[in-house]
Amino acid sequence: EIVLTQSPGTLSLSPGERATLSCRASQSIGSSYLAWYQQKPGQAPRLLIYGASSRATGIPDRFSGSGSGTDFTLTISRLEPEDFAVYYCQQYGSSPRTFGQGTKVESK
Amino acid sequence: EVQLVESGGGLVQPGGSLRLSCVASGFTFSNYWMTWVRQAPGKGLEWVANIKQDGSDRYYVDSVEGRFTISRDNAKNSLFLQMNSLRAEDTAVYYCAKNRGSGSYVDYWGQGTLVTVSS
């Protein structure tokens, strides 16, 4: 099983600042089968990024993904008020599919 | 518009059983892998199981293997999760989710149904 470790656990930032979230895999994820999701309280998750760097439909271009192998990053270039949420990475290169434990982006 | 509507959650005693259902609309259900994901109260997401378009391949997380069964009825655009021998640690919101490709990432999620295992 591939274990995904996200860091930091919590990121305290102000609107307009840049957020950098990390997701590290315990072994290489083939073909960059890595996705990122956003979840707000009381809501289902929403797909942001797939294939490590491709934005899902309707996702603003302030969200970007990068990385390969075992190290992946989600960057939010300038935080908007609606971006404060929990973010999860997920690998879908092998079974069982696994999620990271999440990074909470909170308003400072 | 893609819609996934779960039902069947509730309170059940340890050792009991529950069957979750998910009705899908807005896409050709039989063309896609489907997945169940759960989230314990205040915790992160946990992938539970997925199933191929025709039901011929199914995969489970180790913690539910042998206790849970994922299935589908393509004629009724429905996904199911039969949960037996339930434990307190199975308490969670269970999300029905549509996969984009072959068991790949989730592109649509239902709103979830809460399962509480408690005496």
Cα–Cα distance measured from residue A17 to residue A42, given in angstroms and rounded to the nearest whole number: 25
Residues from chain B contacting residue A100 (CB–CB below 8 Å): 44
Residues in B 42-101 with any Cβ partner in A closer than 8 A = 44-47, 50, 59-62, 95, 100
Residues in A 13-52 with any Cβ partner in B closer than 8 A = 33, 35, 37, 39, 44-47, 50
Residue A93 pLDDT exceeds 70? yes
Q: Which residue in chain B has the smallest CA separation from A45?
A: B109
Res A88: pLDDT: 98
Q: Which positions ≥6 away from B61 have C-beta within 8 Å?
A: A96, B46, B47, B48, B49
Contact B33, B103 (CB under 8 A): yes
Residue A31 pLDDT exceeds 90? no
How confident is the model over A64-82, as a mean pLDDT? 96
Res A95: pLDDT: 86
Cα–Cα distance measured from residue A69 to residue B25, given in angstroms and rounded to the nearest whole number: 36
Residue B102 pLDDT exceeds 90? no
User: What is the DSSP pairing of strand A34-39 with strand A85-91?
Assistant: antiparallel
User: What is the DSSP pairing of strand B113-117 with strand B10-12?
Assistant: parallel
Cα–Cα distance measured from residue A63 to residue B83, given in angstroms and rounded to the nearest whole number: 37
- Contact state of B95 with A44 under an 8 Å Cβ cutoff: yes
| pLDDT band for position A45 (cuts 50, 70, 90) | very high
How confident is the model over A37-42, as a mean pLDDT? 97
Sheet holding A63-76, edge to edge: A4-7, A19-29, A63-76
Res A30: pLDDT: 77
- Contact state of A50 with B104 under an 8 Å Cβ cutoff: yes
Res B103: pLDDT: 64
